[in-house]
Amino acid sequence: MITRAREVLAEHESAERELTEHLSPGATPPPTQLTIFTPLSQPVLEKLREVDLNRLTPLEALNLLAELKKQIE
């Protein structure tokens, strides 16, 4: 599903660039939007997917946040 969404997004972005060039030849295209999650944050996301957040105690949750923060710094 994610792969297909990325394909559709790429098609829309391509169509937008073509339309912009057609309507405003020589115009500077808008900057590409950056993704929120970088490859560096993937281990953090995986850890969050593994953890049962409903069963964490408040102390465990704080410790988990501290651990995840260290991973992204």
What are the domain boundaries of the chain? Answer: 1-32, 34-73
Contact yes or no for 27/20 (Cβ under 8 A): yes
The answer to whether the CB of 40 falls within 8 A of the CB of 72 is: yes
Measured distance CA(24)–CA(63) in Å, rounded: 53
pLDDT at 15 over 80: yes
- Cβ partners under 8 Å of residue 71, min gap 6: 43, 44, 47
- The CA radius of gyration of the chain, in Å to the nearest whole number, is 20
pTM over 0.85: no
**Which token pair is 11?**
């098609």
Look up residue 23 and give its two tokens.
């309507």
Q: What is the mean pLDDT of residues 47-67?
A: 92
